[in-house]
Copies of this chain bind each other. A is one copy, B any other.
Amino acid sequence: MSCLTSGFKAEIATIVGRDYVKENDAVSAIDYGILPENLGAGIVVLPGSTEELAAVVRCCHASSVAIVTHGGRTGLVGGGISRPGEIIISTARLNRITFLSPVENVAIVEAGVTLQALQEAAGEYGLEPGIDLPSRGSATIGGMASTNAGGIAAFRYGVMRHRILGLEAVLADGSIYSDLTRVVKNTAGYDLSHLFIGSEGTLGIITRIAIKLEPRPSFTATTLFGLPSTQAALSAMQRGLKARHGQLRAAEAIWPHYFYLTSTHHNWSAADYRADHPINLLLCIGGNDDADVQSEIENIYEDVATDYPDISAVIASSKAQEKAIWALREDTDLIYRKYPGAPSYDVSVPLSEVEAYLDRCMAKLKTLDPELSPYVFGHLGDGNLHVVLNTAHDAMDGEKIRAIEEIFYTGLNALGGTFSAEHGIGSKRAQTLIAQINHGKWMLMRQLKWSLDPTNTLNPGKVLTE
- Chain A residues with a Cβ under 8 A of chain B: 101-106, 126, 147-148, 150, 154-155, 158-159, 161-162, 166, 171, 175-192, 194-195, 197-199, 203, 210, 215, 234, 238, 241-245, 247, 287-289, 292, 348-352, 379, 382-384, 413, 416-425, 433, 436-438, 440-442, 444-445, 447-448, 451-452, 463-464
- Cα A255 to Cα B437 in complex, Å, equals 51
| Contacting residues, chain B, for A442 (C-beta < 8 A) | 189
For the complex, would chain A's binding face be called helix, strand, loop or mixed by DSSP majority?
loop
The reply to whether B382 and A433 form a contact with Cβ atoms under 8 Å apart is: no
- Cα A287 to Cα B292 in complex, Å, equals 14
The reply to whether B348 and A420 form a contact with Cβ atoms under 8 Å apart is: no
- Cα A182 to Cα B106 in complex, Å, equals 28
- Cα A352 to Cα B186 in complex, Å, equals 17
| Contacting residues, chain B, for A190 (C-beta < 8 A) | 195, 198-199, 203, 445, 448, 463
The reply to whether A148 and B187 form a contact with Cβ atoms under 8 Å apart is: yes
| Contacting residues, chain B, for A148 (C-beta < 8 A) | 187, 191
Q: How many copies does the complex hold?
A: 2
Other 14 A-B pairs with CB < 8 A, given A154-B185, A215-B242:
A101-B350, A102-B238, A150-B184, A158-B184, A181-B413, A185-B382, A188-B425, A188-B436, A189-B441, A190-B448, A215-B241, A244-B292, A444-B452, A447-B451
The reply to whether A187 and B147 form a contact with Cβ atoms under 8 Å apart is: yes
* Nearest CB in chain B: distance from A377 CB, A: 15
List 9 A–B pairs whose Cβ atoms lie within 8 Å, in order of A's numbering. Answer: A104-B351, A154-B185, A181-B348, A181-B418, A185-B382, A188-B420, A189-B445, A189-B463, A191-B198
| Contacting residues, chain B, for A436 (C-beta < 8 A) | 188
- Cα A233 to Cα B247 in complex, Å, equals 25
| Contacting residues, chain B, for A438 (C-beta < 8 A) | 178-179
The reply to whether B423 and A183 form a contact with Cβ atoms under 8 Å apart is: no
The reply to whether B245 and A289 form a contact with Cβ atoms under 8 Å apart is: yes
The reply to whether A421 and B187 form a contact with Cβ atoms under 8 Å apart is: yes
Q: Which of B161, B176, B419, B447 contacts A188 (CB 8 A)?
A: B419
